[in-house]
A = this chain, B = another copy of it.
């Protein structure tokens, strides 16, 4: 590649400090395991976490220099400041890619980009998940088998309240009898979003080779081919002649830009 893809992995980084099972599974934090799983010459990976500073590590400067933002959050969605959510959305609209993992389905960012609740069914029962690819021609599925399984996972089940234009790439089967659209793509403004379900904080999911491959593929897919300020409301002059009307109803004045 001509230029490396700048990846920022944002991790809530709370469970790793409060829950023994999580701390043991992901010493140093989930973000380190995610990074290890996708690392390659094409990526330049940085980290950001909820409590590292008062901008959750997501300053304007960080986001401006991020091509693809990876998001993992779970128990502190409501601790993410609205102004940072707005900033992330602005960058997505301008072209920044975003990958929401697992419990990020309830993050403010994911729900806002969908315009929905993001809600679903769930069960924490250490059960087997089998993930089927429903769109094998999609770049995110490149190199993946027809299906693959994870021996231990939390269950997420339908109905999953997402926007109707979310395109399924993966659909999961769970041992306990549930199904779920586990991989979904979405476009908002100039930016691409990929949601991927697996990744429970106490299970070894982020060490799985197929899970890592999916996330790596998604970084390539979400990397913007174009990035620009989303259209600022503006008032163009007319390109074609406007006839003088017989009446003038007046104007109501300038509105917000």
On A, residues with C-beta under 8 Å from B are 15, 19-22, 25, 74-75, 77-78, 93, 95, 103, 106, 112-117, 119-128, 130, 132-139, 141-142, 146-147, 149, 151-152, 155, 157-161, 163-165, 167-168, 171-179, 181, 187-191, 200-204, 225-228, 230-243, 245, 247-253, 255-256
Contacts and interface: CB of A to CB of B under 8 A. Distances in A.
Interface centre among A25, A117, A241 (most CB of B within 10 A): A117
**Could you tell me the dominant secondary structure of chain A's interface residues?**
loop
Given A19-B253, A114-B115, A202-B251, A127 B74 contact: no
B158 A238 contact: no
Contacts of A202: 249-252
Given A21-B251, A75-B252, A93-B116, 4 more contacts: A116-B189, A127-B242, A173-B177, A202-B249
B126 A95 contact: no
A220 B129 CA distance: 36
Given A126-B249, A249-B126, A163 B161 contact: no
Contacts of A126: 242, 245, 248-249
Contacts of A120: 231, 233
B139 A226 contact: yes
Contacts of A164: 165, 167, 187
B137 A188 contact: no
A243 B21 contact: no
Contacts of A243: 128, 175
Contact of A133 (B139, B158, B168, B173): B158
A140 to B, nearest CB: 10
B168 A172 contact: no
19 contacts: A74-B255, A75-B256, A119-B230, A119-B231, A123-B237, A130-B239, A133-B158, A138-B226, A146-B236, A151-B245, A158-B171, A164-B165, A164-B187, A173-B179, A175-B243, A176-B238, A177-B240, A179-B179, A201-B252
A186 to B, nearest CB: 8
B247 A152 contact: yes
A39 to B, nearest CB: 22
A224 to B, nearest CB: 8
Nearest to A191: B137
Contacts of A255: 74-75, 103, 106
A149 B178 CA distance: 11
Contacts of A138: 226
